[in-house]
């Protein structure tokens, strides 16, 4: 029996719209983000997906995305597990700065290294490797054992905490994950075998 894992990036946030580094800061969704979350909820419902378990981060944009999806899926009376392990990577001193202003100040190349290198953290913040070091142990301890039992789990989280999970689940190299972008509201669906290994990635 295979388990099912659905990863969903939060809908567009107010700071995505303003082009600001967000990290652990806590903006809510924009109108577009609300509609992206609702549309993903409708798509999961249309695909006949009914999760047993629901996880999100400690940040509003991901929690709100999950709430809106559940509303569209008509799911009530459930337990949602929130954990900081699923938070976006901490952008440190860059948090709140405009991404174009940062490029003008530090140069295109340096800002790209901070945003998409695997193990170079932004000043005072977390690299993707640092993010994976908290996200993966949580996934392996709390979520993977349930997938192995054939359960369906939905995770509403963030671009980089999800990229850390995608890298491990798909067995991608640091180079391969750097090229992988996850759009706001985008769902990724995996079937996971009883041995915890990826069986298939399903495109919704
Ligand atoms: O600002 C952030 O927290 C993230 C996600 O929006 O940005 P980036 O695309 O640089 O990972």
Within 74-195, residue ranges assigned H as helices are 99-106, 108-116, 128-138, 144-148, 159-170, 174-178
- According to the model, what pLDDT value does residue 40 have? 98
Q: Report the CATH number at residue 159.
A: 3.40.50.1240
ipTM of the prediction: 0.96
In a domain, 121, yes or no: no
Residue 164 lies in domain: 3-90+127-202
Residue 98 falls inside a structural domain: no
DSSP-assigned beta bridge partners for residue 7: 155, 188
What pLDDT was estimated at residue 98? 98
Tell whether 180 is covered by a domain.
Answer: yes
The 3-class secondary structure across 136-148, one letter per residue, is HHHHHHHHHHHHH
* Tens-digit pLDDT profile for residues 126-139: 999 999 999 999 99
> Is the confidence at residue 77, as pLDDT, over 90?
no
Domain count, the chain: 1
Tell me if residue 10 is catalytic.
Answer: yes
- For 35, the 3-state DSSP assignment is helix
**Cα dist from 81 to 137, 193, 202, whole Å:** 16, 23, 24
Identify the pLDDT of residue 92.
98
Across the range 128-153, mean pLDDT stands at: 98
Per-residue pLDDT band at 159 (split at 50, 70, 90): very high
Three-state DSSP class for 180? coil
Q: What's the first-to-final CA gap in the chain, in angstroms?
A: 20
pLDDT at 204 over 90: no
List, chain by chain if needed, residues with CB within 6 Å of any ligand 1 atom.
Answer: 16, 21-23, 88, 91, 115, 159-160
Core vs surface per residue 123-149: b (16+ CB within 10 A) or e: eebbbbbbbbebbbebbeebbbebbbe
Q: pLDDT, tens digit, for every residue of 23-43?
A: 999 999 999 999 999 999 999
159 CA distance to ligand 1 middle (Å): 7
To test the pocket of ligand 1, the residue of 12, 20, 22, 183 to mutate (highest count of ligand atoms within 8 Å of its CB) is 22
Q: Residues of the chain with pLDDT > 70: what percent?
A: 100
Closest CA to 1 of 143, 153, 193: 193
> Is 7 in contact with 170 (CB distance < 8 Å)?
no
**Position 110 in a domain:** no
Residue 117 vs residues 94, 114, 140, 167, 195: alpha-carbon distances, Å: 15, 6, 24, 13, 31
Residue 203 has pLDDT above 90, yes or no: no
Q: Which residue has the tokens 């700071």?
A: 15
CB atoms within 10 A of CB 87: 23
Torsion angle of the four alpha carbons 36, 28, 75, 43, in this order, in degrees rounded to the nearest 10: 10
- pLDDT > 90? residue 86: yes
Mean pLDDT over 97-105 rounds to: 98
């Amino acid at each position: 029996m295979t388990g099912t894992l659905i990863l969903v990036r939060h809908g567009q946030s107010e700071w995505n719209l303003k082009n600001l580094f967000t990290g652990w800061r806590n903006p809510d969704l924009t109108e577009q983000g609300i509609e992206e979350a609702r549309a993903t909820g409708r798509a999961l419902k249309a695909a006949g997906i009914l999760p047993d378990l629901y996880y999100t981060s400690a940040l509003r944009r991901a929690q709100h995305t999950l709430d809106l999806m559940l509303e569209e899926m008509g799911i009530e009376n459930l337990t949602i597990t929130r954990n900081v392990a699923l938070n976006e990577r901490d952008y440190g001193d860059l948090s709140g700065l405009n991404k174009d202003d940062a490029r003008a100040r530090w140069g295109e190349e340096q800002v790209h290294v901070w945003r998409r290198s695997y193990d170079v953290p932004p000043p005072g913040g977390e690299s993707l490797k640092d993010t994976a070091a908290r996200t993966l142990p949580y996934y392996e301890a709390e979520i993977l054992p349930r997938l192995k039992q054939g359960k369906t789990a939905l995770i509403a989280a963030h671009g980089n905490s999800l990229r850390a999970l995608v890298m491990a689940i798909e067995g991608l190299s640091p180079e391969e994950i750097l090229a992988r972008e996850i759009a706001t509201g985008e769902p990724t669906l995996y079937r996971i075998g009883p041995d915890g290994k990826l069986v298939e990635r399903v495109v919704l």
